[in-house]
Structure 1
Amino acid sequence: MAKNSPYSMVLTYTEDPQQLIMQAVDSVRLAPLLGGIMEVPFFVDDQEFKFDDELARQLGVAMLNVIALSRPDLKQYLTVTQHPIDRPSKE
């Protein structure tokens, strides 16, 4: 099995046509472009964290909020819950 280089994901919104475009970029090639650019940390340092539906939802909400910072007209379309959604009890 071939080993891939580590990827970074770039999410871009275009107006014509209105769409979100995801691009997988070789992290090594992207690194020189990232110096001095705004970072939005998304901490997953809890030893018991899992890449589950709620984490994916929160990550998506964070990404859309950042895109909307530079495109205020998009804010009207964001009808997402901004805080973590309560999970059912495990009992």
Structure 2
Amino acid sequence: MAKHPPYSVVLTYSEDQHRFTVQTVDPAKLAPLVAGKIEMPILLDEHDFKLDDEFARRLGVAMLNLIALGQPEIKQYISVTQEPRQ
């Protein structure tokens, strides 16, 4: 398996192409671009360090909601449960 250096992951939605793009970026190069922007910490200890299906679902919902804040056109396509499953 290839060894990768640490990187950040950027998710972008293109309205005109109706697609998501996922890119990897050097965290040091990304830091100045995200300074002062919306930040949403997700603390692993609050999830008992379980990166399971429910964690992934909630993370995905959060990403879609953040994208929809800046690009409300995507809201028409979102039909996910907003609250955690019980």
TM-score range, shorter chain: 0.7 to 0.9
| Structure 1 residues without counterparts, runs of 5 or longer | 87-91
How many residues are paired up?
A: 86
Question: What's the CA shift for 1:19?
Answer: 0.2
TM-score of the superposed pair, with normalisation by structure 1: 0.82
TM-score of the superposed pair, with normalisation by structure 2: 0.86
1:63 maps to a residue whose letter is: M
2:64 maps to a residue whose letter is: L
Say if 1:5 and 1:27, in contact at 8 Å, map to a contact too.
no
Say if 1:10 and 1:25, in contact at 8 Å, map to a contact too.
yes
Question: What's the CA shift for 1:3?
Answer: 4.6
Larger RCO, structure (CA 8 Å, separation 6 or more):
2
2:37 maps to a residue whose letter is: I
| Structure 2 residues without counterparts, runs of 5 or longer | none
| Residues in 1 aligned to 2:66 and 2:76: alpha-carbon distance in whole angstroms | 14
**RMSD after superposition:** 1.8
Decide which structure has greater helix share: 2
Residue in 1 that maps onto 2:6: 6
Question: What's the CA shift for 1:48?
Answer: 2.6
Which has the greater radius of gyration? 1
Between 7-16 and 42-51, the greater mean CA deviation after superposition: 42-51
Identical aligned residues as a percent: 56
Question: What's the CA shift for 1:45?
Answer: 2.0
1:38-77 mapped onto 2 (5 Å cutoff) = 38-46=38-46, 48-77=48-77
Between 10-19 and 43-52, the greater mean CA deviation after superposition: 43-52
